[in-house]
Amino acid sequence: MERGGCRLHPESCGEVARIARRLAIALALLAVVLPWLAAAGEAETPPAPNSVGLSRDAGAVESPPAARVAGPPPDTRAEKLVFVLQYVGVDYGGAVREGRPADPAEYSEMLVLTRDLVAGYGALGGGQVSPEIRDGLARLRQLVEDRAAWEDVRALVHDLTPRLAADLGVSVKPVGPLDPVRGRDVYESACAACHGVDGTGAGPATAAMDPTPSSFSDPRMAYLSPHQLVGAMRFGIAGTAMPSFEGVLSPEDLWNVASYVWGLRGGAGASGSGCSRRRCSPRRAAAWT
C-alpha cells in the first residue's frame, strides 16, 4: 500500500523524507548540545580552579566546561564581521572554480556575505569608516561577482582581516596559553558526534545532515585560522547543522578547542603551528591567528 502511494503521489513521499531528515538532524543536535546547555544553566559561578581539568589517571574532563557568567548580551557585530570576512576567504575556494560556480548554493552565499560585509562595515563605522578598508571590501565584493580566482580572493582577505580587526577593536589572538589537550577532551565531548573523532566530518550524528559537517582534512582548511574556528563556534554557521556554543563553552575552552582542531587540518596542518601537544604560548599563537 505504501509503495503504491509513493508511485501515485511521489511528491508526498519526498516531503515526508525531507521532514524525517530534518527531525533526525534536530534530534542529533539535541543529543550533542543539551548536556552542555544543562551544565551551563547549573553553573551560576565559575567552578573552583581545581574542579575542572584533566584526570591525572585518564586525561578525561572531570566536569563540564565553565559557562560564561550571565549578563547583558554583548554587541558582537564587530566580531562577527571579522569572522565573516575570514569565512569568505576560506569557503570561496569551494564556491568557484575556473570562473564558474562549482557549488551554486555556496556561490550565492558568497555574494550575500560580501554584500553584508560592505553594508555592515558602513553601519558600524558610521561616518568614521576607513576609506582603504571600505574600498577593499567593495573590491572583494567585485571579485566575487566576477568569479575571480580563489588565490586573488584569499590574498585580499588576508590583507584586509588584520586591518578590519584593528579598525573595529577586535582581538584575533588568545589572551593566555592554550591547552590543546584540554581542547581535545572538550572536542570529543561536544564536537566529535558531528565532525568525527578524527575531524573528517564523519561522526555518528551525520547520517541525515545536509550539508554534512566540515572535514578538517579538506585542503581548504590549510588556510583556516584558529580565530575563525573560534568564530564558527561562537556564531554557528547559518544554513547548516553547526550550532552556536556562545555562552555554553567558556572563551578559554573555545580557544582550546580551536588550538586542537587546528592540528587536525589537512594541507599545512599542525606542522607549522608552533604548538606542543600540551601547550601553546600566546607568543607562538600570534604567528597563526
Q: Cα dist. 26→23, 33, 201, 232 in Å?
A: 5, 10, 17, 19
> For position 207, what pLDDT does the model report?
86
Q: Residues 142-162: what's their mean pLDDT?
A: 98
Lowest mean pLDDT among 106-110, 158-162, 210-214, 279-283: 279-283
More confident residue, 166 or 44: 166
**Alpha helices (runs of H) in the chain, residue ranges in sequence order:** 2-8, 10-42, 77-91, 104-125, 131-145, 150-168, 180-190, 192-195, 226-235, 251-262, 282-285
15 pLDDT higher than 80: no
More confident residue, 91 or 1: 91
Do 110 and 101 contact (CB within 8 A), yes or no?
Answer: no
268 pLDDT higher than 50: no
Average model confidence (pLDDT) for the chain? 78
Band (pLDDT 50/70/90 cuts) for residue 176 is: confident
Alpha carbon of residue 105 to chain centroid: 18
CATH 1.10.760.10 fits 22-71+177-288, yes or no: yes
Band (pLDDT 50/70/90 cuts) for residue 202 is: very high
40 pLDDT higher than 50: no
d(Cα 232, Cα 242) in Å, to the nearest integer?
8
> For position 175, what pLDDT does the model report?
72
Band (pLDDT 50/70/90 cuts) for residue 279 is: low
Write out pLDDT tens, residues 219-260. Answer: 999 999 999 999 999 999 988 999 999 999 999 999 999 999
> For position 74, what pLDDT does the model report?
55
Classify 75 in phi/psi space as left (phi over 0), alpha (psi -120 to 50) or beta: beta
d(Cα 202, Cα 121) in Å, to the nearest integer?
36
189 pLDDT higher than 90: yes
Write out pLDDT tens, residues 110-148. Answer: 999 999 999 999 999 877 899 999 999 999 999 999 999
More confident residue, 199 or 44: 199
Global pTM reads 0.70
- 201-212 b/e with 16+ CB inside 10 Å = b? bebebbebbeeb
Share of the chain above pLDDT 90, in %: 58
Lowest mean pLDDT among 47-51, 116-120, 229-233, 264-268: 47-51
47 pLDDT higher than 70: no
272 pLDDT higher than 90: no
Q: Residues 41-54: what's their mean pLDDT?
A: 39
170 pLDDT higher than 60: yes
> If you ran DSSP here, which 8-state letter would residue 243 be given?
-
Q: For the CA atoms of 267, 272, 274, 279, what is the dihedral angle to 10 degrees?
A: 10
